[in-house]
Amino acid sequence: MLSGKKILFASNFSQFQGSEALANAFEGLGAEVFRINGRHFMPEWRSVIGRVARTALSPMAVREYQAAIFSRLKLTKFDLFFTMKGLYLNNAIFETIKSLNTKSAIFYPDRSFSEHKFLDIPALCCADYFFTTKSFQLPYLTRRRANKVTRLVHHGYIPGLHQPYFHMPPNYDFDICYIGNHSVYKESWLKDIISKFSLRRIGIFGNRWPRRLANSHCVIGSEVVGSEYSKLIQSSKINIALHAGPSAEKPDWQDLVSTRTFEIPACMGFMLHIDNTEVRSLFSVGSEIDVFRSQDELSEKINYYLAADEARTRMCNSAYKRAVPSYSYITRAQEMASVIFRHDNTKYQNRPPSID
């Protein structure tokens, strides 16, 4: 599909991130992908002293990152400049790309544009193609980008990483599990569950969760990634899918789906997802996943499914078939390539099946 195409991909890369999955997917479609990894320029020290030093060094690191992009653009004629999120990019980069008759595209995965210090949204709006995972951003982006192409492309799961690791877990580690970073909104939901299900084993994993929530039946753990993440999903009877809540920038901007929406089913985990029309367009409620709108409904569904082993297993299998391979980053790369290079999207064998 992309045979002979050269893509310059500038982003933060790691084996656990969607950027690397998309780069691998483009390569799988036949493209030659040249990576510029922002992690090689931006220090990620997390101690207090390290964060102070990082703040002081960041402007110099940004300039070096941008210089590396300019240098690579001069060396090779690229068909596409691609970035995920677009941190550290400025208007001069997009002007240079345009002068070279190279296409430019952004895949933006986050809820807000104001939460990142080195995000220049006026510059990013100069890109030829802007793919966002957030449907609520489309009106804003369409207004700002005039006649440029703006599309919704959902998150995906990473093939080879988000997958089942057990044919049938002999023992579950947790009855109820949530994996994701802390927010006040999420805590308000999960505190209620911790209180109501004192006889159940509960696991909450991610950055910034307060240790005060831990007790004899609730484990508060740090961030989990890679195969550990996938195994934890499959080793939990119920995986709750909550998102960050309303954006401080725009209160009406609130995630409807996120990466976990696609990762949990791909790992063959059972998912209870906060209810909205978007998740209902992706999965069949009641036969693949289930949903909740209130704390009382969430508690009722947890009680029901903890006692319904056969139903959970059946729904896990159905949700897995829905997600794999249709919701992978390979399919997302195909969707974007079809727009950028004007391929016929109906040719894809991995098109998501329709929801009845």
The string of pLDDT tens digits covering residues 206-258 is 999 999 999 999 999 999 999 999 999 999 999 999 998 888 778 889 999 99
* DSSP helix/strand/coil, 251: coil
Domains of the chain and any CATH numbers: 6-158+328-347 (3.40.50.2000), 174-323 (3.40.50.2000)
Tokens representing residue 25 in the block: 């997917």
- Region at 274 (left for phi over 0; alpha for psi -120 to 50; beta for the rest): beta
Closest CA to 190 of 279, 329, 62, 298: 298
Peptide bond into 109 cis (omega under 30): no
For residue 352, is pLDDT > 60?
no
pTM over 0.75: yes
Distances (CA, A) of 244 to 17, 22, 186, 217: 19, 24, 6, 24
Q: How far apart are CA 96 and CA 204, in angstroms?
A: 46
- Overall average pLDDT of the 80-89 stretch: 96
